Every structure is written in structure tokens, then in C-alpha cells.
């Protein structure tokens, strides 16, 4: 597996399809994550908010995540992970862990001392995934338009 930055020649439509596949289970759980049904224009908008990274195996994109530095995080040396997705048939094989580790290393490289992310409180399997990788609960947030309460998790780098 290799991890690389998204390039202008990469297909946003293909990336969107991967994200939809990865979030389908969450949508079936009744969770209206943006990634469940976002269009390519939203994928592109979210990609442009930070650094989009791709995990590839045998020339195929099997995972993705965006590392961003939104305000007020940037001012306090924090990075944020979003649009994190792994091909469903390959989940549990270490791709997500490798991608997350890469983003953590990249955040350290650019001077961040902390990295955060959010997920639905009721997506216990995701909360556990992050907690086993050193992320700790900070707070609950009810984002506008979401049918679920989010858990904010942070890891010191």
C-alpha cells in the first residue's frame, strides 16, 4: 500500500463513489453524515479545505482522508481529520490505521501538537477504532442539520 496526496488528474467522481461506499453502512444506520450522499462538488469543496491523502493498493484507491487546519485549530497548533473513508471490503485490514498514522505524522511535520476528529456518538465501532489509536473524548457537539450527536475526539501528537 502507498499513501500519496491527491493530484489534479485524480477523479473527484471516483473519490466520491469510494466515499459513498465507505459511508453506506452508516447511512443504513440512519446517520446522515455528509459523506453518505454528497455530490462531487461537495467532495471537491471538502478536499480543498486541506490536504487530501489517498491510500492505494495495486493502482486502485482504497482509502482517503483530508487533513485540515481550520480556525481556531490552526492558531492553537491543531489539525483536523475529515472525509475519512476506506473501501468497505477492505476495512479491518489496517488501511485506515495506516492512513490515520500518516496524517498524524504529517500534522507533526507541519508543527501541530494535537489532532482531532468527530464521528457519530452512536457509531460505537468508529469511536472504539479511534480510542484504540490514542484519541480521547473531549466533548459532544450537535452539528446543525445532523440527526445524531457527534463525539469530538483528540490525540496529542
How far is C-alpha 100 from the chain's CA centre?
8
Q: How confident is the model at residue 71 (pLDDT cuts 50, 70, 90)?
A: confident
Count Cα atoms within 13 angstroms, Cβ side, for 72. 1
Measured distance between the N- and C-terminal CA atoms of the chain, rounded to whole angstroms: 24
pTM for this one? 0.94
Cα distances (angstroms) measured from residue 121 to each of 23, 58, 134: 15, 34, 17
Q: Give the percent of the chain with pLDDT over 90.
A: 94
Asked if residue 72 has pLDDT above 70, the reply is no
Cβ-based burial of 99 (10 A; exposed 0-12, middle 13-18, buried ≥19): buried
| Cis peptide bond upstream of 154, omega within 30 | no
Whole-number pLDDT of residue 73: 62
Reply yes or no on whether the pLDDT at 74 is more than 70: no
Amino acid at each position: 500500500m502507498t499513501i500519496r496526496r491527491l493530484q489534479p488528474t485524480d477523479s473527484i467522481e471516483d473519490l466520491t463513489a469510494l466515499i459513498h461506499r465507505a459511508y453506506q453502512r452508516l447511512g443504513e444506520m440512519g446517520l446522515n453524515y455528509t459523506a453518505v450522499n454528497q455530490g462531487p462538488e461537495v467532495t471537491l469543496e471538502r478536499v480543498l479545505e486541506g490536504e487530501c491523502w489517498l491510500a492505494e493498493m495495486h493502482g486502485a484507491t482504497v482509502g482517503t482522508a483530508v487533513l485540515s487546519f481550520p480556525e481556531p485549530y490552526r492558531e492553537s497548533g491543531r489539525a483536523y481529520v475529515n472525509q475519512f473513508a476506506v473501501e468497505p471490503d477492505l476495512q479491518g485490514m489496517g488501511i485506515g490505521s495506516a492512513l490515520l498514522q500518516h496524517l498524524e505524522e504529517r500534522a507533526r511535520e507541519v508543527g501541530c501538537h494535537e489532532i482531532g476528529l468527530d464521528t457519530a456518538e452512536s457509531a460505537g465501532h468508529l469511536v472504539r477504532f479511534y480510542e484504540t489509536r490514542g484519541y480521547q473524548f473531549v466533548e459532544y457537539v450537535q452539528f446543525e442539520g445532523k440527526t445524531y450527536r457527534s463525539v469530538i475526539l483528540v490525540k496529542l501528537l
